Amino acid sequence: ETGVTQTPRHLVMGMTNKKSLKCEQHLGHNAMYWYKQSAKKPLELMFVYSLEERVENNSVPSRFSPECPNSSHLFLHLHTLQPEDSALYLCASSLTAQPNRELFFGEGSRLTVL
């Protein structure tokens, strides 16, 4: 079983749909992250949770809503998305949210917004 598991792996949604991405880590880590990876752009940090508390929101549009019910689970709720939101959404975890900690990534959820 991989350390960080993301579901679904692929998602196609219309602009008016509501869907959620799920991430689960089995590493006992205390920090979890959502990253967005678009074609031709560097990885963009979206949200950081440390001990289930959101510590960073990188000016992400409100149509993306994160939820961290416990230290092992992280959700990204999607609502009224735009076609430019189509991307690979990567979840990651680390032992702590300190800058010297390596990140452990899931395989990503490939989102297509029609």
Partner 1 sequence: AQKVTQAQTEISVVEKEDVTLDCVYETRDTTYYLFWYKQPPSGELVFLIRRNSFDEQNEISGRYSWNFQKSTSSFNFTITASQVVDSAVYFCALSEEMKTSYDKVIFGPGTSLSVIP
DSSP characters over 66-113: EEEEETTEEEEEEES--GGG-EEEEEEEESSS-TTSPPEE---EEEEE
State the minimum distance, in angstroms, from the CB of residue 73 to partner 1: 18
State the minimum distance, in angstroms, from the CB of residue 1 to partner 1: 13
Integer Cα distance of 24 and 2 in angstroms: 10
Closer to partner 1 by Cβ: residue 79 or 101: 101
State the minimum distance, in angstroms, from the CB of residue 109 to partner 1: 9
Q: List residues near partner 1 by CB under 8 A.
A: 2, 4, 41-43, 45, 48, 50, 55-56, 58, 88, 90, 92, 97, 99-100, 102-108, 110
Closer to partner 1 by Cβ: residue 73 or 110: 110
> CA 22, 33, 107, 3: dihedral to nearest 10 degrees?
-90
